């Protein structure tokens, strides 16, 4: 064997994914990205994403699990079923030829994203301005959210039960809102603070108005003016905020990034990029051998708790219901078998190597923008604390699937050892006995109002997830 061939054989290469695809696939990368941008623009909250996915899936023949249960007929291979958990997390099933008891293939991501929520009594007036008090959600760097246009999305429910969904700040003709920052001229004390303390949690107050309503008896005339406008437009009163869920997110649309348009700048890539790739992959599964599942969950950014997070029993309930419709002798044991025979790609983003902050990464074991779908054998922090650490046998299975299907992929971990760390939903299904590995798209500026991903990594995620589910 010539040395050149020998080197090809024994040495690991790390090439750009762009140089490993042909012109036709490059076109597919760009057209897939166009649809992804539309999804991001329509889905800026977990609720909006779940509703988008439900509507889309219904057009592809998916039926609500509640209707399937009510019908009570046995399910069969190729049936497409979804469970919508309170419009906040949503799980799709394409029933396989084998019984569910034999295991499933799952791609699981999350559709919540770091943001700023309104407090329950948000509205107040100060210095002739109306503001909303907030409580941030997830791991944000607070200084990134000031002096930048923001939009309000969410749901209020009036005392009479009427639902008011709002979305203000996204249309070109809408007003936007903003959290103000201090001018540098007076920023001497602020600039001397630690970066994480320059803007405080209680300082994240959203500016929403400055015009008074003429009323001699009222002290807070600007606040009154805002309430009168809200009452006129939506019929809502101040007390309706106390039971509402309203989220503040960056205003504006997803945009191509770079002269070559190879990347996308947008709010919420974490983790809508993996969720969208998994969702689109699942929609294309016809009749798999094993039941294919796409689960797109809420509350990951705050620890996966709550009845819409991955820790909730909702997924297991759905599996139990489906097994009950598949066999005449349902038992709890079948559900346990199903979960422990299952293979999962925990589809969440990873930190892409950033040359501006090279010293926090191990360059040899990092994910890179444009090098494809990234497998993370383990996450966690310190000595792999909190990690589910995938088994070598399972990684070998995933490697073969990706290679057989020409998926460009890379491995990497989240930064240098002892630099910090993170984790996602992998451990939850791993605890139920499933094989799980983290596998997602590398992101720059993760958790910032505008994050960056590569279009080819998105496409390779879709291709990889589809190959994984379609068997």
Q: How many helices (H) and strands (E) does the chain have?
A: 12, 22
Which window, 226-234, 251-259, 270-278, 287-295, contacts Mn ion (CB under 5 A)?
Answer: 270-278
C-beta closer to Mn ion: residue 68 or 273: 273
C-beta separation of 295 from 106 below 8 A: yes
Counting residues that bind Mn ion (by CB under 5 A) gives 3
The helix/strand/coil state of 109 is strand
C-beta closer to Mn ion: residue 300 or 321: 300
| Contact between 220 and Mn ion per CB under 5 A | no
Q: What are phi and psi of 139, to 5 degrees?
A: -85, 90
C-beta closer to Mn ion: residue 122 or 294: 294
The minimum distance between CB 138 and Mn ion, in angstroms, equals 7
Q: Tokens 């309430």 — which residue? A: 227
Judge residue 308's burial from the number of C-beta atoms within 10 Å of its C-beta, 0-12 exposed, 13-18 middle, 19 or more buried: buried
The minimum distance between CB 273 and Mn ion, in angstroms, equals 9
The minimum distance between CB 278 and Mn ion, in angstroms, equals 13
The minimum distance between CB 106 and Mn ion, in angstroms, equals 16
Which residues face 126 on adjacent strands? 129
The minimum distance between CB 297 and Mn ion, in angstroms, equals 10
The minimum distance between CB 109 and Mn ion, in angstroms, equals 8
Q: How far apart are CA 137 and CA 290, in angstroms?
A: 37
Residues 314-373 that bind Mn ion (CB under 5 A): 348
C-beta closer to Mn ion: residue 280 or 348: 348
C-beta closer to Mn ion: residue 220 or 348: 348
Positive or negative, the Cα torsion across 213, 214, 218, 221? positive
The minimum distance between CB 300 and Mn ion, in angstroms, equals 6
Strands (E), 144-244: 150-157, 163-168, 206-209
Which window, 55-63, 77-85, 221-229, 267-275, contacts Mn ion (CB under 5 A)?
Answer: 267-275
| Contact between 270 and Mn ion per CB under 5 A | yes
Comparing every residue's Cβ against Mn ion, the nearest one is 271
Give 304-313 contacts, CB < 8 A, sequence gap 24+: 304/110, 304/425, 304/428, 307/85, 307/86, 308/46, 308/85, 308/86, 308/88, 308/89, 309/89, 310/108, 310/110, 310/425, 310/428, 310/429, 311/428, 312/85
| Contact between 46 and Mn ion per CB under 5 A | no
The minimum distance between CB 296 and Mn ion, in angstroms, equals 12
Which window, 216-224, 271-279, 324-332, 456-464, contacts Mn ion (CB under 5 A)?
Answer: 271-279
Q: Which two tokens mark 188?
A: 């001497």
| Contact between 271 and Mn ion per CB under 5 A | yes
C-beta closer to Mn ion: residue 292 or 351: 351
C-beta closer to Mn ion: residue 285 or 351: 351
| Contact between 298 and Mn ion per CB under 5 A | no
Q: How far apart are CA 278 and CA 90, in angstroms?
A: 12
Where does this chain bind Mn ion (CB under 5 A)?
270-271, 348
């Amino acid at each position: 064997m010539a040395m050149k061939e020998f080197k090809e054989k024994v040495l690991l290469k790390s090439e750009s994914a762009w140089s490993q695809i042909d012109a036709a696939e490059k076109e597919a990368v760009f057209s897939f990205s166009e649809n992804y941008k539309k999804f991001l623009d329509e889905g800026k909250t977990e609720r909006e994403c779940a509703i988008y996915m439900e509507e889309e899936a219904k057009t592809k023949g998916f039926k609500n699990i509640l209707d399937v249960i009510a019908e009570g007929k046995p399910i069969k291979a190729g049936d497409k079923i979804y469970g919508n958990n309170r419009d906040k997390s949503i799980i799709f099933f394409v029933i396989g030829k084998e019984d569910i008891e034999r295991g499933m293939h799952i791609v699981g991501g999350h559709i919540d994203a770091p943001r700023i929520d309104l407090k329950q009594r948000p509205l107040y007036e100060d210095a002739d301005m109306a503001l909303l008090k907030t409580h941030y959600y997830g791991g944000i760097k607070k200084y990134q959210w000031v002096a930048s246009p923001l939009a309000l999305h969410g749901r209020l429910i009036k005392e009479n039960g009427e639902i008011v969904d709002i979305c203000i700040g996204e249309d070109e003709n809408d007003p936007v809102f903003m959290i103000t920052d201090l001018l540098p001229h007076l920023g001497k004390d602020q600039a001397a603070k630690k970066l994480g303390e320059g803007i405080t949690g209680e300082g994240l107050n959203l500016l929403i108005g400055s015009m008074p309503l003429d009323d001699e008896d009222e002290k807070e005339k600007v606040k009154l003016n805002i309430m009168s406008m809200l009452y006129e437009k939506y019929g809502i009163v101040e007390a309706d905020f106390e039971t509402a869920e309203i989220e503040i997110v960056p205003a504006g649309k997803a945009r191509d990034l770079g002269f070559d348009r190879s990347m996308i700048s947008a709010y919420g890539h974490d983790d809508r990029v993996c969720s969208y790739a998994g969702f689109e992959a699942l929609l294309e599964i016809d009749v798999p051998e094993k039941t294919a599942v796409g689960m797109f969950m809420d509350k990951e950014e705050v620890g996966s708790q709550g009845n819409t997070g991955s820790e909730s029993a909702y997924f297991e309930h759905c599996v139990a219901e489906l097994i009950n419709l598949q066999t005449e002798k349902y038992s709890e044991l079948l559900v346990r078998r199903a979960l422990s025979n299952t293979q999962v790609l925990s589809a969440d983003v990873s930190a892409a190597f950033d040359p501006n902050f090279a010293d926090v990464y191990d360059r040899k074991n990092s994910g890179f923008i444009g090098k494809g779908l990234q497998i993370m054998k383990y996450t966690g922090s310190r000595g792999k604390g909190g990690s589910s650490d995938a088994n070598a046998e399972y990684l070998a299975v995933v490697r073969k699937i990706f290679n057989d299907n020409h998926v460009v992929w890379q491995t990497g971990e989240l930064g240098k050892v002892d630099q910090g760390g993170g984790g996602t939903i992998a451990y939850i299904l791993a605890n139920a006995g499933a094989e799980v590995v983290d596998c997602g798209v590398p992101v720059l500026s993760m958790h910032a109002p505008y994050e960056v991903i590569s279009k080819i990594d998105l496409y390779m995620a879709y291709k990889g997830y589809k190959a994984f589910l379609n068997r």
